[in-house]
Amino acid sequence: MRADKTTQARFAWPANPKLKDAGSRLALAAGVLAVVCVGAVSAQHQISLSGDLQGKISYCKDCHGVSAQGYNGYYPIPRLAGQQPEYLQNQLRAFIEHRRTNNIMFNVAHSLSPAVLSALAAHFASLHPPPIGGAPHQLVATGRRIFEDGMPEVNIAACAACHGPDATGSGQIPRLAGQLYPYMIKTLGNWDKERGRNPTVPDAATIMSPVAHSLNKSQIEAVAAFVSTLR
Amino acid sequence: MSFRPPQRQRRRAFRSPPGATLILPAAVLALSFASPAAAQDNVSKAEVEAKLHYCEVCHGVSAQGFHGYYPIPRLAGQPTEYLKNQLQAFVERRRTSNIMFNVGHVLSPAMINALTTDFNQLNPKPVGGAPKENIDEGKNIFENGVAQANVPPCASCHGPQGKGNGPFPRLAGQLYDYISNKLTNWDKERGQNPSQPDTSAVMQPIAHSLTQPQIKAVAAYLSYLE
């Protein structure tokens, strides 16, 4: 795994032992933190929040990769870096409410306080490591065509309309740029088995359901290969 | 964050079980298929239904509009003539949108008839979400214009309820940021093919005469109009 050292240093916390040699960058980081922490929150709360947060960030990165660039564990574990904070918060809530089924992520998410949850989302949104790569190159051109133009003759919408021309997402719509090839394939292939699982709490997952259905396996692989290469 | 999936409106024309409600739409369909052009260009209910779902992936449930990466406009309640004109404008590159060019150029005339009829009949609630502080100013501009800046009342063409008519689009319930963007970028998006001047020229001087705050106020007012 390749860490994005610059970004790590900028957003890691002073207690992080990896940062002993970070020098003036650390001073800047401390300054930024000080500003962030000034607010209505009490001094005592600041300390516990930053402590919790530091611990949580390391914990998330155990599975999601050193710079949250994603990691191929037993499952493909998605990239969180650069992800839209609103999307990240929505998904953490979806795990908690069993709208998105994943036992591991339910356990992870249900212990997060609202303050830590939004701080984590902001942290991951600010990271920009390069994509992991590894997708078959020969699929990229087809994937790009589907992503940018869709396939109107067979009613496949252009991904770019909602996910943006650079696949960076917007608000509740996730960034796909740099997402793991196998994660994209698994998620699009199993949409209805993983998303929108609580009929009493319908959510934005319903928007993607018909799109996931309209794509066949080779189209999914092509789109997955394309987005996995985007920075 | 606070996602409230709107209930899809029942599509009377294409989804109802056979029965009394089907008689009128069937008559309308029969009429449209009776014209010489449509006779050789048939389209099945299933094909129309699939295409409607495809449109609503981006334009939102019941075509009420959706905030994707771009603000994607409401089509519900839009006059069929305006919808047809715009689809043609995308295909002829008079209106620039790569995505909508691709969407538009595969549609047959019969499919366009069916889609525009369906969207015209929908009437979901506006998406909402615009700032509310300048709505009164927006209403005033919409109804009375800005005489000193030579801006006519929007209502004189778009109708007192903003429902549009024929080539004039419905603005009621349109997305706030969509209206703002269109009015701000009029010359970059509309009337882009000089060899084929079109009705977008009518709106051009008006878009120019409106200031940014006036555009925002009108857009906010319209975005809440049912």
For B128-138, b/e burial (b = at least 16 CB within 10 A) is eebeeebbebb
Beta carbons of B1 and A172 less than 8 Å apart: yes
Pairing outcome for strands B66-67 and A76-77: unpaired
In the beta sheet, which residues pair with residue B67?
B71
Beta carbons of B69 and A162 less than 8 Å apart: yes
Q: Determine the pLDDT at residue A50.
A: 78
Most confident of A5-14, A19-28, B17-26, B86-95: B86-95
> Please, are residues A188 and A156 in contact by the beta-carbon 8 Å criterion?
no
Pairing outcome for strands B66-67 and B71-72: antiparallel
SS3 of residue B216 by DSSP: helix
Q: Determine the pLDDT at residue A51.
A: 78
Where in chain A is CATH 1.10.760.10? 5-125, 137-229
Find tokens 């004109």 and name the residue. Answer: B85
Going A193 to A199 to A204 to A210, the CA torsion angle's sign is positive
Structure tokens at B76: 């519900």
- Give the H or E element holding residue A71: strand A71-72
What is the CATH code for A5-125? 1.10.760.10
> Please, are residues B58 and A157 in contact by the beta-carbon 8 Å criterion?
yes
pTM of the model: 0.80
DSSP label of B146? B
Digit-by-digit pLDDT tens for chain B (226 residues) are: 445 555 666 554 444 444 444 444 444 444 444 444 444 468 999 999 999 999 999 999 999 999 999 999 999 999 999 999 999 999 999 999 999 999 999 999 999 999 999 999 999 999 999 999 999 999 999 999 999 999 999 999 999 999 999 999 999 999 999 999 999 999 999 999 989 889 899 999 999 999 999 999 999 999 999 9
Question: What whole-number distance in Å separates Cα of residue B62 and Cα of residue B64?
Answer: 5
Which of chain B's residues have a Cβ under 8 Å away from the Cβ of A162?
58, 66, 68-69, 72
What is the CATH code for A137-229? 1.10.760.10
pLDDT-based confidence at A223, cuts 50/70/90?
Answer: very high
Beta carbons of B68 and A162 less than 8 Å apart: yes
How many CB contacts within 8 angstroms connect chain A with chain B?
A: 67
- The structural domains of chain B, ordered by start, are 41-121 (1.10.760.10), 135-223 (1.10.760.10)
Radius of gyration of chain A (CA): 19
Structure tokens at B159: 């109708």
ipTM: 0.78
Question: What whole-number distance in Å separates Cα of residue B226 and Cα of residue B216?
Answer: 18
Q: Give the model confidence (pLDDT) of B111-169 as tens digits.
A: 999 999 999 999 999 999 999 999 999 999 999 999 999 999 999 999 999 999 999 99
